[in-house]
Chains A and B, each alone.
Chain A
Amino acid sequence: MLEIRIHGRGGQGAVTAAEMLSVAAFEEGRHAQAFPTFGSERTGAPVVSFCRIDDRPIRIHEPISHPDALLVQDPTLVHQVLLFEGVGEEAYVLLNTGRSFAELGLGEVEDRLRPGRAVCVPATEIARAELGRPLPNTALLGGFAALTGWVSLDSISTAIRQAFAGEVGEANVRAAKAAHDRVLEKKGRSARA
């Protein structure tokens, strides 16, 4: 079973991202479960959502405390919540930022993880360019697909189109692809290095 935790702020689409990820896995014929934390339904407040993916039916109903992958929509959350709690060295971490782990003072987190597992992608910037709005969630999902290979970009795109009809959906698909390609490029670079 793969367990993914998403940290964001109310309004950034963390809950929708977990749902779309579960739909992407479902599209691939797998079992998936997405659910939010509750109680902080306020714009800007810290929000956590979860997604489990498995080849078998998922029976467990509890929050994810030891994620296999962590998506962070806003790295400034590090000042408010224990973002990296339960994140082991095998986990993948994808940060939404134009800067590096070291520049954010998170070099320690990057060093603790296996090489190539901690990646930054400027999802908000990409979203601004593709959607005209600073909503990083679909771009991050594209980056997640590239980083982990657990779901395909095609499935992510299908899930995005189910959630957002028409041009809004297409713009989000473009954002996901742009972030996907950016992460692939980074992975290639770190593999060569």
Chain B
Amino acid sequence: MPVRSQIEGSQAVARAVARCRPQVVAAYPISPQTHIVESLADLVRTGELDPCEYLMVESELGAMSACIGSSAMGSRTYTATASQGLLFMAEALFNASGLGLPIVMTVANRAIGAPINIWNDHSDSMSMRDSGWVQLFASSNQEAVDLHVQAFRLAERLSLPVMVCMDGFVLTHAVEQVDVPEQDEVDAFLPPFTPRQQLDPAQPVSIGAMVGPEAFTEVKYLMHARQMQALDEIPRIAADFEAAFGRPAGGLVRPYRTDDAETVVVALGSQVGTIEVVVDQLRDEGHPVGLLDVTCFRPWPRDEVRRALAGAANVVVLEKAFAVGAGGIVGQNTRLALAGTPTVVHDVVAGLGGRPVTAAAVRGLLDDVLAGRVDPHRLHFLGLRTDLVDGQLRRDAASVPGPHAESMLREAGVIGSGSH
């Protein structure tokens, strides 16, 4: 039986990861880091997680490089990072996926500077969306725990790396009720790691040789093909998980009250729970509104998204990151899924740099969409303080307007930034 605990998200994930028996954890301990690796380091020290080698490396680039080495040696390998730390890993992320190494990593989602900001949004994971890693987004701490158990099985089944994304602070630092799977349950669900390729001094092979134009395209084609296989594998693993643990978790997408919905919100991560509450309110008032929680963002489950949304007249994609100069990221993918349908897609950016996505703000947005007050041809920023923006645009007319972020902070009357 699972142990139901009132526990911090990071601690719950650390326990779940430990029960997946990683043989190597490599991490760089400076901020932005999570309590997850801190707690794992402790479990290794006390011998509770054994055998496991905990490598404290000199940087995030070092962390992912060590993960690549240990995974290539056939060890089950785990790490965690966030924000700038993920960017510092960027080069090695592409190596891990290019080599097809089944590393599992938690990203405790946080914004990317400048301006410096330590708070939650999805800019970090989204910047690495094309790095060849599977990206799964947790909507709650329970789901974060369950996704990690599934992630190791998925990674090792297809020999590709998996990123489990959970909202920094909002989930990682929240103390909530979580069922942490027991060791015997995880052992029954997750078989020992059998590597598809392995460095072994007794039987030497090369992994990571230079590949020229003669075969590079084919290697990349197979990367894509393997990610597409994950679209079949992820629902299978989710079904097995539900059968084994008695609760649903994972899968590609999770529709919520989308039957007959004329307006559907698409979202990822912890804002999903808040949106569910608003959907219930609106349903109670007779508005046919629903929600599509996208758990798997990479690979992009185009067919499932299309099936879930095609009947809707309006889709509102609420996302905690965006492509500067282009628009919504999840929104662009959603449009791809809906190509050829008359469904109208609205791109809304929300929750950047720790600004809370509140039920009231989501309600206001949906009221505007239902009343036809939101122009689908424009990128919207939920709760944008136009007073600050307009003030800066006025200052920009001066010949040397000076640093804009600092000017807006001064105008907002903030001394020492703070957030929830």
Query: A residues near B, CB below 8 A?
Result: 18-19, 22-23, 26, 31-40, 45-46, 48, 57-63, 65
Contacts and interface: CB of A to CB of B under 8 A. Distances in A.
B177 A62 contact: no
Given A35-B174, A62-B357, A40 B273 contact: no
Contacts of B140: 59
Contacts of B420: 37-38, 48, 62-63
A61 B175 contact: no
B119 A22 contact: no
A26 B173 contact: no
Given A19-B175, A34-B175, A35-B174, A61 B273 contact: yes
A38 B118 contact: yes
Given A38-B173, A39-B354, 7 more contacts: A32-B6, A32-B177, A58-B176, A61-B174, A61-B273, A62-B358, A65-B358
A18 B6 CA distance: 12
B274 interface: yes
B29 to A, nearest CB: 16
B173 A36 contact: yes
A59 B118 contact: no
B270 A37 contact: no
Nearest to B142: A57
Contacts of B169: 35, 38
8 contacts: A33-B175, A34-B175, A38-B419, A40-B418, A59-B274, A61-B171, A61-B174, A61-B271
Interface string B169-188: 11101111100000000000
A23 B359 contact: no
Nearest to A162: B6
A63 B175 CA distance: 14
B276 interface: yes
Contacts of A18: 175
Nearest to A15: B173
Contacts of A40: 416, 418
Nearest to B354: A38
A62 B120 CA distance: 12
Contact of B175 (A22, A45, A48, A62): A22
B247 to A, nearest CB: 12
Given A61-B271, A61-B274, A23 B419 contact: no
B173 A59 contact: no
Contact of B174 (A33, A46, A59): A33
Nearest to B358: A62
A152 B357 CA distance: 33
Contacts of B195: none
B170 A61 contact: yes
**Which of A35, A57, A61 is most buried by chain B, counting CB atoms within 10 A of its CB?**
A61
Complex A-B, nearest 6 residue pairs according to Cβ-Cβ distance, in ascending order: A59-B273, A26-B6, A63-B420, A34-B175, A35-B174, A61-B270
A48 B418 CA distance: 10
B175 A39 contact: no
A65 B360 CA distance: 11
Contact of A35 (B119, B170, B277): B170
**Which of B8, B271, B273, B418 is most buried by chain A, counting CB atoms within 10 A of its CB?**
B418
Contacts of A19: 8, 175
A137 to B, nearest CB: 15
Nearest to A26: B6
Interface in B266-291: 270-271, 273-274, 276-277
Given A59-B276, A63-B356, A63-B420, A23 B174 contact: no
Contacts of A38: 118-119, 169, 173, 354, 418-420
B417 interface: yes
Interface in B137-157: 140
Contact of B274 (A22, A62, A65): A62
Contact of B273 (A36, A48, A60): A60
Contacts of A22: 6, 175-176
A31 B141 CA distance: 14
A37 B419 contact: yes
A26 B177 CA distance: 8
B13 to A, nearest CB: 15
Nearest to B356: A62
A172 B42 CA distance: 27
B38 to A, nearest CB: 15
Contacts of B273: 58-61
**Which of B6, B174, B359 is most buried by chain A, counting CB atoms within 10 A of its CB?**
B6
Contacts of A63: 356, 358, 420
Contacts of B174: 33-35, 61
A60 B419 contact: no
A62 B6 contact: no
B419 A39 contact: yes
Given A19-B175, A31-B177, A39 B417 contact: yes
Given A59-B276, A60-B277, A62-B359, A35 B270 contact: no
